Amino acid sequence: MKIASFNINGIKARIEALTSWLAGADVDVVVLQEIKSVDEGFPRDHFSDLGWNVETHGQKGFNGVAILSRLPLEDVSRGLPGDDSDEQARYIEATVMGDQAVRLAGLYLPNGNPVPGPKYDYKLAWMERLRKRAAELLDLEMPVVMLGDYNVIPEARDAAKPEKWVDDALFLPQSRAALRAIQWQGWTDAIRIREPWAQRGPFTFWDYQAGAWNRDDGIRIDHLLLSPQAADLMVETGVDRDARAGDKPSDHVPVWVRLAA
């Protein structure tokens, strides 16, 4: 089972880019972030006609997450538990029914800028809610993949120019500590474990401004965290860097893991 995460940065603007990538990616499931569409506005029929099961948790103009799956989806839930007043569409869960059931938790973690301020407070509070939900997912004792745009740069080597980010919400010590608190529950960072000794990158995001892509001035903020049961099934993992060089690309690229499931 090949599972991918892709911040598409607007489904209506990137539908052709996404369709093209899907045609060659050989993925079974993809979790999307920043669809920037209400559920009714998502091009469900387009993807259904191509053989995808579609589940969405949308929001007008902002945020929004979705799951496209070749395999049946069960027990779909929307919204991160812990704050009934949170109206931002940033989280979706479902169980993928392959040879072995895999629970997916797809997320679009808040950016948090500007710092300090209410947006950063919201980011840290959201991460604490995610930590609690992550612990509950581990208690399931089944393969779980918690994936998406985390909006956190874990280490200096995850940025081409880490000095640029020292005052940014993505790289502040509190943000990185909050991510570590989740990982240290027992989650495996699939992309990092592929290249544990890499001194630079791999990157998953390049800004549209200032020629960041051409200068490879990127950061790694899209992550795949695997429960111990999922990590035991991991076959390979990767970053589809070439997607950034396509026509009308997202500023993110897909990250993926293949499980023996």
Task: Record the pTM.
Answer: 0.97
User: CB-side exposure of 250: number of CA atoms within 13 Å?
Assistant: 31
- Amino acid code (one letter) for 144: V
**Cβ atoms of 234 and 258 closer than 8 Å:** yes
Assess whether 149 carries a catalytic annotation: yes
Q: What kind of fold does domain 2-259 have according to CATH?
A: Deoxyribonuclease I; Chain A (3.60.10)
Q: What is the pLDDT of residue 105?
A: 98
pLDDT in tens, 158-184: 999 999 999 999 999 999 999 999 999
Name the one residue in this structure whose structure tokens are 């919204």. Answer: 79
Q: What is the pLDDT of residue 210?
A: 84
Q: What is the pLDDT of residue 194?
A: 82
Q: What is the pLDDT of residue 198?
A: 84
User: Tens-of-pLDDT digits for all 261 residues of the chain?
Assistant: 999 999 999 999 999 999 999 999 999 999 999 999 999 999 999 999 999 999 999 999 999 999 999 999 999 999 999 999 999 999 999 999 999 999 999 999 999 999 999 999 999 999 999 999 999 999 999 999 999 999 999 999 999 999 999 999 999 999 999 999 999 999 999 999 888 888 899 999 999 998 999 999 999 999 999 999 999 999 999 999 999 999 999 999 999 999 998
DSSP class of 242? G
Q: What is the pLDDT of residue 197?
A: 82
Picking from 35, 32, 93, 91, the residue whose alpha carbon sits closest to that of residue 63 is 35
pLDDT in tens, 12-36: 999 999 999 999 999 999 999 999 9
d(CA 255, CA 251): 13
- Amino acid code (one letter) for 181: A
Q: What is the pLDDT of residue 62?
A: 93
- Cross-strand partners of 4: 30, 256
d(CA 146, CA 117): 27
Catalytic residue among 91, 108, 120, 150: 108
Catalytic residue among 28, 91, 120, 149: 149
